[in-house]
Chain A
Amino acid sequence: MSIWEYANPKKFIATTAPVIPWAFGGALLCLGVGLVWGFFLTPVADKFGSTVKIIYLHVPSAMIAINAWIMMLVASLVWLIRRHHVSALAAKAAAPVGMTMTLIALWTGAVWGQPMWGTWWAWDPRLTSFLILFLFYLGYVALWEAIPDPDQAADLTSVLCLVGSVFALLSRYAVNFWNQGLHQGATLSMDTEEHISDVYWLPLVICIGGFVLLFVALVLMRTGTEIRLRRLRALERQAQRVTA
Protein backbone atom coordinates (compact mmCIF):
# COMPACT_ATOMS: atom_id res chain seq x y z
CA MET A 1 0.00 0.00 0.00
CA SER A 2 1.63 3.16 -1.11
CA ILE A 3 0.51 6.56 -2.35
CA TRP A 4 1.70 5.71 -5.86
CA GLU A 5 -1.18 3.31 -6.30
CA TYR A 6 -3.36 6.34 -6.90
CA ALA A 7 -1.27 7.16 -9.94
CA ASN A 8 -3.40 4.56 -11.69
CA PRO A 9 -6.09 6.71 -13.36
CA LYS A 10 -8.81 4.14 -12.80
CA LYS A 11 -8.03 3.85 -9.13
CA PHE A 12 -7.68 7.62 -8.87
CA ILE A 13 -11.17 8.20 -10.23
CA ALA A 14 -12.66 5.36 -8.20
CA THR A 15 -11.16 6.77 -5.01
CA THR A 16 -11.81 10.44 -5.59
CA ALA A 17 -15.28 10.29 -7.15
CA PRO A 18 -17.03 9.59 -3.82
CA VAL A 19 -14.88 12.24 -2.10
CA ILE A 20 -15.89 15.07 -4.44
CA PRO A 21 -19.53 15.54 -3.25
CA TRP A 22 -18.36 15.43 0.37
CA ALA A 23 -15.70 18.03 -0.33
CA PHE A 24 -18.21 20.26 -2.09
CA GLY A 25 -20.71 19.79 0.73
CA GLY A 26 -18.08 20.51 3.34
CA ALA A 27 -16.97 23.61 1.45
CA LEU A 28 -20.54 24.84 1.25
CA LEU A 29 -21.10 24.21 4.93
CA CYS A 30 -17.83 25.83 6.03
CA LEU A 31 -18.26 28.84 3.79
CA GLY A 32 -21.89 29.25 4.82
CA VAL A 33 -21.12 29.10 8.52
CA GLY A 34 -17.87 31.05 8.27
CA LEU A 35 -19.19 33.84 6.08
CA VAL A 36 -22.46 34.31 7.98
CA TRP A 37 -20.59 34.25 11.27
CA GLY A 38 -17.93 36.56 9.95
CA PHE A 39 -20.21 39.03 8.21
CA PHE A 40 -23.03 39.35 10.74
CA LEU A 41 -21.92 38.08 14.11
CA THR A 42 -18.50 39.65 14.64
CA PRO A 43 -18.01 43.18 16.00
CA VAL A 44 -16.88 46.02 13.76
CA ALA A 45 -13.15 46.68 14.18
CA ASP A 46 -12.31 50.15 15.48
CA LYS A 47 -9.56 50.89 12.97
CA PHE A 48 -11.09 49.28 9.90
CA GLY A 49 -14.85 49.68 10.25
CA SER A 50 -17.06 47.10 8.62
CA THR A 51 -14.64 46.78 5.66
CA VAL A 52 -12.62 44.35 7.77
CA LYS A 53 -15.14 41.67 6.90
CA ILE A 54 -13.86 41.24 3.39
CA ILE A 55 -10.94 39.49 5.09
CA TYR A 56 -13.06 36.31 5.10
CA LEU A 57 -12.73 36.15 1.34
CA HIS A 58 -9.42 37.92 0.88
CA VAL A 59 -7.13 35.87 3.13
CA PRO A 60 -8.39 32.37 2.19
CA SER A 61 -8.29 33.07 -1.55
CA ALA A 62 -4.78 34.49 -1.25
CA MET A 63 -3.61 31.43 0.69
CA ILE A 64 -5.10 29.08 -1.89
CA ALA A 65 -3.57 31.13 -4.71
CA ILE A 66 -0.06 30.57 -3.36
CA ASN A 67 -0.60 26.98 -2.24
CA ALA A 68 -2.13 26.02 -5.59
CA TRP A 69 1.13 27.02 -7.25
CA ILE A 70 3.10 24.97 -4.71
CA MET A 71 0.80 22.02 -5.39
CA MET A 72 1.43 22.45 -9.13
CA LEU A 73 5.15 22.53 -8.43
CA VAL A 74 4.99 19.25 -6.49
CA ALA A 75 2.77 17.64 -9.14
CA SER A 76 5.16 18.80 -11.88
CA LEU A 77 8.10 17.28 -10.02
CA VAL A 78 6.22 14.01 -9.61
CA TRP A 79 5.49 14.01 -13.33
CA LEU A 80 9.08 14.76 -14.29
CA ILE A 81 10.53 12.18 -11.93
CA ARG A 82 8.02 9.34 -11.93
CA ARG A 83 6.03 9.98 -15.13
CA HIS A 84 2.58 9.55 -13.59
CA HIS A 85 0.06 11.03 -15.98
CA VAL A 86 -2.46 11.77 -13.25
CA SER A 87 0.07 14.05 -11.62
CA ALA A 88 0.58 16.12 -14.75
CA LEU A 89 -3.17 16.35 -15.26
CA ALA A 90 -3.67 17.41 -11.64
CA ALA A 91 -1.19 20.26 -12.17
CA LYS A 92 -3.07 21.24 -15.32
CA ALA A 93 -6.38 21.08 -13.47
CA ALA A 94 -5.14 23.21 -10.57
CA ALA A 95 -3.80 26.08 -12.66
CA PRO A 96 -7.07 27.80 -13.66
CA VAL A 97 -8.38 27.37 -10.11
CA GLY A 98 -5.27 28.99 -8.69
CA MET A 99 -5.47 31.73 -11.27
CA THR A 100 -9.06 32.50 -10.32
CA MET A 101 -8.11 32.56 -6.65
CA THR A 102 -5.32 35.03 -7.42
CA LEU A 103 -7.84 37.20 -9.23
CA ILE A 104 -10.27 36.99 -6.29
CA ALA A 105 -7.52 37.96 -3.88
CA LEU A 106 -6.49 40.90 -6.07
CA TRP A 107 -10.07 42.03 -6.55
CA THR A 108 -11.15 41.77 -2.91
CA GLY A 109 -7.90 43.49 -1.97
CA ALA A 110 -8.71 46.37 -4.32
CA VAL A 111 -12.22 46.64 -2.92
CA TRP A 112 -10.79 46.66 0.57
CA GLY A 113 -7.99 49.04 -0.30
CA GLN A 114 -10.29 51.67 -1.74
CA PRO A 115 -11.90 52.71 1.59
CA MET A 116 -8.83 51.91 3.73
CA TRP A 117 -5.94 53.33 1.74
CA GLY A 118 -7.98 55.60 -0.48
CA THR A 119 -6.82 53.78 -3.61
CA TRP A 120 -7.81 50.71 -5.56
CA TRP A 121 -4.26 49.82 -6.35
CA ALA A 122 -0.84 50.63 -4.92
CA TRP A 123 2.52 49.24 -5.99
CA ASP A 124 2.90 47.57 -2.65
CA PRO A 125 5.18 44.49 -2.52
CA ARG A 126 2.39 42.07 -1.67
CA LEU A 127 0.03 43.42 -4.27
CA THR A 128 2.73 43.52 -6.89
CA SER A 129 3.94 40.00 -6.24
CA PHE A 130 0.37 38.75 -6.53
CA LEU A 131 0.03 40.46 -9.86
CA ILE A 132 3.26 38.77 -10.96
CA LEU A 133 1.94 35.44 -9.69
CA PHE A 134 -1.14 36.04 -11.82
CA LEU A 135 1.08 36.58 -14.87
CA PHE A 136 2.88 33.31 -14.13
CA TYR A 137 -0.44 31.46 -13.98
CA LEU A 138 -1.43 33.10 -17.25
CA GLY A 139 1.75 31.95 -19.00
CA TYR A 140 1.43 28.43 -17.58
CA VAL A 141 -2.17 28.02 -18.73
CA ALA A 142 -1.36 29.55 -22.12
CA LEU A 143 1.49 27.08 -22.65
CA TRP A 144 -0.81 24.14 -21.86
CA GLU A 145 -3.29 25.45 -24.40
CA ALA A 146 -0.68 26.00 -27.10
CA ILE A 147 0.77 22.49 -27.36
CA PRO A 148 -1.35 19.78 -28.96
CA ASP A 149 0.71 16.76 -27.86
CA PRO A 150 -0.31 16.01 -24.24
CA ASP A 151 2.97 14.45 -23.08
CA GLN A 152 5.07 17.17 -24.59
CA ALA A 153 2.77 19.79 -23.07
CA ALA A 154 3.08 18.13 -19.66
CA ASP A 155 6.87 18.07 -19.92
CA LEU A 156 7.24 21.65 -21.05
CA THR A 157 4.77 23.10 -18.57
CA SER A 158 6.45 21.16 -15.77
CA VAL A 159 9.82 22.68 -16.60
CA LEU A 160 8.18 26.09 -16.88
CA CYS A 161 6.61 25.56 -13.46
CA LEU A 162 10.00 24.74 -11.92
CA VAL A 163 11.78 27.70 -13.50
CA GLY A 164 8.79 29.94 -12.84
CA SER A 165 8.79 29.02 -9.15
CA VAL A 166 12.38 30.15 -8.77
CA PHE A 167 11.68 33.41 -10.55
CA ALA A 168 8.41 33.97 -8.70
CA LEU A 169 10.27 33.63 -5.41
CA LEU A 170 13.00 35.94 -6.67
CA SER A 171 10.39 38.46 -7.78
CA ARG A 172 8.82 38.37 -4.33
CA TYR A 173 12.07 39.49 -2.71
CA ALA A 174 12.96 41.88 -5.52
CA VAL A 175 9.61 43.58 -5.13
CA ASN A 176 10.06 43.74 -1.38
CA PHE A 177 13.32 45.52 -1.90
CA TRP A 178 11.90 47.83 -4.54
CA ASN A 179 9.08 49.43 -2.60
CA GLN A 180 7.88 49.74 0.96
CA GLY A 181 4.43 48.39 1.67
CA LEU A 182 1.06 49.67 2.74
CA HIS A 183 -0.22 46.16 3.33
CA GLN A 184 -0.41 44.96 6.92
CA GLY A 185 1.66 42.03 8.09
CA ALA A 186 0.68 38.39 8.21
CA THR A 187 -2.90 37.82 9.28
CA LEU A 188 -2.29 34.42 10.79
CA SER A 189 1.08 33.89 12.38
CA MET A 190 2.65 32.64 15.57
CA ASP A 191 3.72 36.18 16.33
CA THR A 192 0.85 37.57 18.42
CA GLU A 193 1.79 41.16 17.62
CA GLU A 194 0.80 40.66 13.98
CA HIS A 195 -2.04 38.30 14.63
CA ILE A 196 -5.65 39.38 14.19
CA SER A 197 -7.75 39.46 17.32
CA ASP A 198 -9.43 36.31 18.57
CA VAL A 199 -13.01 37.36 17.71
CA TYR A 200 -12.21 37.15 13.99
CA TRP A 201 -9.93 34.19 14.20
CA LEU A 202 -12.41 31.30 14.37
CA PRO A 203 -14.72 32.34 11.48
CA LEU A 204 -11.62 33.08 9.41
CA VAL A 205 -10.23 29.61 10.03
CA ILE A 206 -13.60 28.12 9.09
CA CYS A 207 -13.59 30.14 5.87
CA ILE A 208 -10.06 28.99 5.08
CA GLY A 209 -11.19 25.41 5.64
CA GLY A 210 -14.08 26.04 3.26
CA PHE A 211 -11.76 27.40 0.58
CA VAL A 212 -9.38 24.47 1.00
CA LEU A 213 -12.24 22.01 0.59
CA LEU A 214 -13.52 23.94 -2.41
CA PHE A 215 -10.08 23.84 -3.98
CA VAL A 216 -9.72 20.11 -3.32
CA ALA A 217 -13.15 19.42 -4.79
CA LEU A 218 -12.53 21.52 -7.89
CA VAL A 219 -9.09 20.07 -8.54
CA LEU A 220 -10.26 16.47 -8.08
CA MET A 221 -13.23 17.07 -10.34
CA ARG A 222 -11.17 18.78 -13.02
CA THR A 223 -8.48 16.08 -12.85
CA GLY A 224 -11.17 13.43 -13.30
CA THR A 225 -12.51 15.35 -16.29
CA GLU A 226 -9.05 15.55 -17.84
CA ILE A 227 -8.50 11.82 -17.37
CA ARG A 228 -11.85 11.04 -19.01
CA LEU A 229 -11.08 13.47 -21.82
CA ARG A 230 -7.81 11.72 -22.47
CA ARG A 231 -9.57 8.34 -22.43
CA LEU A 232 -12.15 9.62 -24.87
CA ARG A 233 -9.44 10.77 -27.27
CA ALA A 234 -7.76 7.37 -27.09
CA LEU A 235 -11.06 5.68 -27.87
CA GLU A 236 -11.71 8.00 -30.79
CA ARG A 237 -8.28 7.25 -32.23
CA GLN A 238 -8.94 3.55 -31.81
CA ALA A 239 -12.29 3.87 -33.60
CA GLN A 240 -10.62 5.72 -36.46
CA ARG A 241 -8.04 3.00 -36.78
CA VAL A 242 -10.76 0.34 -36.90
CA THR A 243 -12.74 2.09 -39.60
CA ALA A 244 -9.68 2.97 -41.65
Chain B
Amino acid sequence: MKALLLRDLRLAVRAGGGFGLSLAFFLIVTVLVPFAVGPEAGTLSRIGPGVLWVGALLATLLSLDRQFALDHEDGALPLIATSPLPLEAVALIKAVAHWLTTGLPLTLAAAPLGILLNLDVRAFPWLVLTLALGTPALSVIGTFGAALTVGIRRGGLLLSLLVLPLYVPTLIFGAEAARRGAQGLDVATPLLMLGGITLGALALLPFAAGAVLRINLR
Protein backbone atom coordinates (compact mmCIF):
# COMPACT_ATOMS: atom_id res chain seq x y z
CA MET B 1 0.00 0.00 0.00
CA LYS B 2 2.77 2.35 1.01
CA ALA B 3 4.75 1.48 -2.09
CA LEU B 4 1.80 2.26 -4.34
CA LEU B 5 1.16 5.53 -2.55
CA LEU B 6 4.80 6.58 -2.86
CA ARG B 7 4.86 5.52 -6.49
CA ASP B 8 1.79 7.58 -7.32
CA LEU B 9 3.13 10.58 -5.45
CA ARG B 10 6.46 10.34 -7.22
CA LEU B 11 4.80 9.98 -10.62
CA ALA B 12 2.63 12.99 -9.94
CA VAL B 13 5.45 15.24 -8.80
CA ARG B 14 7.97 14.33 -11.47
CA ALA B 15 8.02 15.80 -14.94
CA GLY B 16 4.91 15.13 -16.97
CA GLY B 17 2.88 14.35 -13.88
CA GLY B 18 0.97 17.58 -14.08
CA PHE B 19 1.43 18.39 -10.42
CA GLY B 20 1.63 22.16 -10.79
CA LEU B 21 -0.99 22.21 -13.51
CA SER B 22 -4.07 22.26 -11.32
CA LEU B 23 -2.54 24.93 -9.08
CA ALA B 24 -1.82 27.11 -12.10
CA PHE B 25 -5.35 26.48 -13.35
CA PHE B 26 -6.75 27.51 -9.96
CA LEU B 27 -4.70 30.72 -10.09
CA ILE B 28 -5.88 31.56 -13.61
CA VAL B 29 -9.55 30.94 -12.84
CA THR B 30 -9.30 33.16 -9.79
CA VAL B 31 -7.60 35.90 -11.78
CA LEU B 32 -10.20 35.70 -14.55
CA VAL B 33 -13.15 36.23 -12.26
CA PRO B 34 -12.49 39.93 -11.48
CA PHE B 35 -12.10 40.56 -15.22
CA ALA B 36 -15.53 39.06 -15.74
CA VAL B 37 -17.50 40.58 -12.86
CA GLY B 38 -15.60 43.86 -12.44
CA PRO B 39 -13.01 45.00 -9.92
CA GLU B 40 -15.45 46.32 -7.30
CA ALA B 41 -14.12 45.23 -3.89
CA GLY B 42 -17.50 44.67 -2.22
CA THR B 43 -18.75 42.32 -4.94
CA LEU B 44 -15.51 40.37 -5.02
CA SER B 45 -15.36 39.82 -1.28
CA ARG B 46 -18.99 38.71 -1.28
CA ILE B 47 -18.60 36.13 -4.05
CA GLY B 48 -14.99 35.28 -3.10
CA PRO B 49 -15.56 32.08 -1.07
CA GLY B 50 -17.88 30.67 -3.72
CA VAL B 51 -15.49 31.52 -6.54
CA LEU B 52 -12.59 29.87 -4.76
CA TRP B 53 -14.70 26.79 -4.09
CA VAL B 54 -15.74 26.48 -7.74
CA GLY B 55 -12.14 27.13 -8.82
CA ALA B 56 -10.81 24.41 -6.51
CA LEU B 57 -13.50 22.02 -7.74
CA LEU B 58 -12.65 22.60 -11.39
CA ALA B 59 -8.93 22.32 -10.68
CA THR B 60 -9.57 18.98 -8.97
CA LEU B 61 -11.52 17.82 -11.99
CA LEU B 62 -8.68 18.74 -14.33
CA SER B 63 -6.25 16.17 -12.97
CA LEU B 64 -8.74 13.33 -12.53
CA ASP B 65 -8.53 11.71 -15.94
CA ARG B 66 -4.83 10.97 -15.45
CA GLN B 67 -5.56 8.89 -12.39
CA PHE B 68 -6.15 5.49 -13.94
CA ALA B 69 -5.80 6.33 -17.62
CA LEU B 70 -1.99 6.50 -17.57
CA ASP B 71 -1.70 3.22 -15.69
CA HIS B 72 -4.23 1.72 -18.07
CA GLU B 73 -2.30 2.84 -21.13
CA ASP B 74 1.09 1.52 -20.08
CA GLY B 75 -0.36 -1.70 -18.69
CA ALA B 76 0.45 -1.06 -15.06
CA LEU B 77 -3.18 -1.26 -13.98
CA PRO B 78 -3.65 -5.01 -14.66
CA LEU B 79 -0.37 -5.62 -12.81
CA ILE B 80 -1.57 -3.62 -9.82
CA ALA B 81 -4.87 -5.51 -9.98
CA THR B 82 -3.12 -8.88 -9.82
CA SER B 83 -1.11 -7.83 -6.77
CA PRO B 84 -2.41 -9.04 -3.39
CA LEU B 85 -3.81 -5.58 -2.71
CA PRO B 86 -7.61 -5.50 -3.23
CA LEU B 87 -8.79 -3.03 -5.86
CA GLU B 88 -10.83 -1.19 -3.25
CA ALA B 89 -7.60 -0.35 -1.43
CA VAL B 90 -5.99 0.63 -4.73
CA ALA B 91 -8.85 3.06 -5.36
CA LEU B 92 -8.53 4.49 -1.86
CA ILE B 93 -4.78 4.96 -2.24
CA LYS B 94 -5.21 6.58 -5.62
CA ALA B 95 -7.70 8.98 -4.04
CA VAL B 96 -5.33 9.75 -1.16
CA ALA B 97 -2.45 10.35 -3.58
CA HIS B 98 -4.70 12.56 -5.67
CA TRP B 99 -5.70 14.57 -2.64
CA LEU B 100 -2.11 14.97 -1.46
CA THR B 101 -1.03 16.25 -4.87
CA THR B 102 -4.15 18.28 -5.69
CA GLY B 103 -6.55 18.89 -2.82
CA LEU B 104 -3.96 19.79 -0.22
CA PRO B 105 -2.01 22.27 -2.40
CA LEU B 106 -5.29 23.81 -3.54
CA THR B 107 -6.40 24.25 0.05
CA LEU B 108 -3.14 25.94 0.93
CA ALA B 109 -3.21 28.07 -2.20
CA ALA B 110 -6.75 29.25 -1.55
CA ALA B 111 -5.63 31.61 1.24
CA PRO B 112 -3.21 33.71 -0.84
CA LEU B 113 -5.66 33.68 -3.74
CA GLY B 114 -8.28 35.00 -1.33
CA ILE B 115 -6.26 38.21 -1.08
CA LEU B 116 -6.74 38.73 -4.80
CA LEU B 117 -10.48 38.57 -4.30
CA ASN B 118 -10.38 41.02 -1.41
CA LEU B 119 -11.66 38.43 1.02
CA ASP B 120 -12.68 39.49 4.52
CA VAL B 121 -10.17 38.58 7.26
CA ARG B 122 -12.80 36.48 9.02
CA ALA B 123 -13.34 34.43 5.87
CA PHE B 124 -9.81 33.02 5.56
CA PRO B 125 -9.85 30.38 8.32
CA TRP B 126 -13.30 29.19 7.24
CA LEU B 127 -12.32 29.00 3.62
CA VAL B 128 -9.23 26.92 4.36
CA LEU B 129 -11.10 24.75 6.86
CA THR B 130 -13.99 23.99 4.49
CA LEU B 131 -11.62 23.24 1.62
CA ALA B 132 -9.53 20.99 3.84
CA LEU B 133 -12.71 19.15 4.85
CA GLY B 134 -14.29 19.07 1.41
CA THR B 135 -11.46 18.37 -1.04
CA PRO B 136 -10.95 14.76 0.18
CA ALA B 137 -14.57 14.10 -0.82
CA LEU B 138 -13.89 15.67 -4.22
CA SER B 139 -10.87 13.40 -4.67
CA VAL B 140 -12.72 10.22 -3.69
CA ILE B 141 -15.77 10.99 -5.83
CA GLY B 142 -13.45 11.89 -8.69
CA THR B 143 -11.56 8.63 -8.29
CA PHE B 144 -14.83 6.77 -8.67
CA GLY B 145 -15.55 8.75 -11.85
CA ALA B 146 -12.05 8.09 -13.18
CA ALA B 147 -12.43 4.37 -12.46
CA LEU B 148 -15.78 4.42 -14.26
CA THR B 149 -14.39 5.94 -17.45
CA VAL B 150 -10.95 4.30 -17.50
CA GLY B 151 -11.63 2.10 -20.51
CA ILE B 152 -13.19 4.82 -22.64
CA ARG B 153 -11.20 6.63 -25.28
CA ARG B 154 -11.22 10.38 -24.75
CA GLY B 155 -13.17 9.81 -21.57
CA GLY B 156 -12.14 13.15 -20.08
CA LEU B 157 -15.21 15.06 -21.15
CA LEU B 158 -17.52 12.24 -20.14
CA LEU B 159 -15.73 12.11 -16.80
CA SER B 160 -16.60 15.76 -16.15
CA LEU B 161 -20.20 15.15 -17.13
CA LEU B 162 -20.45 12.21 -14.72
CA VAL B 163 -18.53 13.68 -11.82
CA LEU B 164 -19.84 17.25 -11.71
CA PRO B 165 -23.41 16.33 -10.67
CA LEU B 166 -21.90 14.16 -7.93
CA TYR B 167 -20.00 17.19 -6.67
CA VAL B 168 -23.17 19.20 -6.05
CA PRO B 169 -23.79 18.35 -2.36
CA THR B 170 -20.13 18.83 -1.43
CA LEU B 171 -20.03 22.17 -3.19
CA ILE B 172 -23.27 23.35 -1.62
CA PHE B 173 -22.28 22.56 1.95
CA GLY B 174 -18.66 23.62 1.53
CA ALA B 175 -19.37 26.96 -0.07
CA GLU B 176 -22.30 27.57 2.28
CA ALA B 177 -20.12 26.95 5.36
CA ALA B 178 -17.41 29.24 3.96
CA ARG B 179 -19.96 31.95 3.18
CA ARG B 180 -21.58 31.75 6.60
CA GLY B 181 -18.22 31.78 8.30
CA ALA B 182 -17.23 34.86 6.31
CA GLN B 183 -20.37 36.64 7.46
CA GLY B 184 -19.98 35.51 11.06
CA LEU B 185 -23.09 33.31 11.02
CA ASP B 186 -23.55 29.88 12.56
CA VAL B 187 -21.60 27.31 10.54
CA ALA B 188 -22.20 24.14 12.56
CA THR B 189 -24.78 22.47 10.28
CA PRO B 190 -23.10 22.85 6.89
CA LEU B 191 -19.72 22.06 8.39
CA LEU B 192 -21.00 18.85 9.97
CA MET B 193 -22.75 17.88 6.75
CA LEU B 194 -19.58 18.54 4.78
CA GLY B 195 -17.57 16.36 7.15
CA GLY B 196 -20.27 13.71 6.93
CA ILE B 197 -20.15 13.67 3.14
CA THR B 198 -16.37 13.37 3.18
CA LEU B 199 -16.37 10.52 5.68
CA GLY B 200 -19.24 8.75 3.95
CA ALA B 201 -17.56 9.06 0.56
CA LEU B 202 -14.27 7.82 2.01
CA ALA B 203 -16.01 4.84 3.58
CA LEU B 204 -18.22 3.76 0.68
CA LEU B 205 -16.95 5.01 -2.65
CA PRO B 206 -13.68 3.01 -2.75
CA PHE B 207 -15.90 -0.09 -2.89
CA ALA B 208 -17.85 1.31 -5.83
CA ALA B 209 -14.60 2.37 -7.51
CA GLY B 210 -13.09 -1.08 -6.90
CA ALA B 211 -16.17 -2.72 -8.41
CA VAL B 212 -16.11 -0.62 -11.57
CA LEU B 213 -12.35 -1.12 -11.93
CA ARG B 214 -12.91 -4.86 -11.82
CA ILE B 215 -15.60 -4.54 -14.51
CA ASN B 216 -13.32 -2.40 -16.66
CA LEU B 217 -10.42 -4.84 -16.36
CA ARG B 218 -12.55 -7.87 -17.16
Contact = CB atoms under 8 A, between A and B. Distances in A.
B196 to A, nearest CB: 10
- Could you say which interface size class chain B belongs to? 20 to 34
Interface in A142-186: 142-143, 146-147, 152, 155-156, 159-160, 162-164, 167-168, 170-171, 173-175, 177-178
Interface stretch (B36-44, B85-93, B120-128, B150-158): B150-158
A112 interface: no
**Chain B interface mostly helix, strand, loop or mixed?**
helix
Contact of B189 (A146, A147, A156, A177): A177
Contacts of B166: 163-164, 167
A214 to B, nearest CB: 26
Name the residue among A136, A168, A171 with the largest chain B CB count within 10 angstroms: A171
Given A152-B218, A174-B172, A160 B148 contact: yes
Interface stretch (B9-17, B73-81, B204-212): B204-212
Contacts of A122: none
A138 interface: yes
B148 A177 contact: no
B215 A146 contact: no
Given A143-B158, A152-B151, A178 B176 contact: yes
Contacts, number: 75
Contacts of A173: 169
Contact of B165 (A135, A146, A159, A177): A135
B193 interface: yes
- Could you say which interface size class chain A belongs to? 20 to 34
B165 A164 contact: yes
A152 B216 contact: yes
Contact of A174 (B149, B162, B168, B205): B168
Contact of B162 (A139, A152, A155, A162): A139
A78 interface: no
A156 to B, nearest CB: 6
Nearest to B150: A156
A156 B151 CA distance: 11
Contacts of A168: 165
Nearest to A138: B161
Name the residue among B148, B162, B218 with the largest chain A CB count within 10 angstroms: B162
A143 B205 CA distance: 18
B208 A162 contact: yes
Given A135-B164, A156-B216, A174 B151 contact: no
Interface string A180-209: 000000000000000000000000000000
Contacts of B169: 167, 170-171, 173-174
A170 B205 contact: no
A132 interface: yes
Given A152-B216, A156-B212, A156-B216, A136 B165 contact: yes
Given A159-B208, A177-B190, 10 more contacts: A135-B161, A138-B161, A139-B162, A143-B148, A143-B162, A159-B211, A167-B168, A170-B197, A174-B193, A177-B193
Interface of B: 144, 148-149, 151-152, 155, 158, 161-162, 164-166, 168-169, 172-173, 176, 189-190, 193, 197, 205, 208, 211-212, 215-216, 218
6 contacts: A142-B162, A143-B149, A146-B152, A159-B148, A171-B172, A177-B173
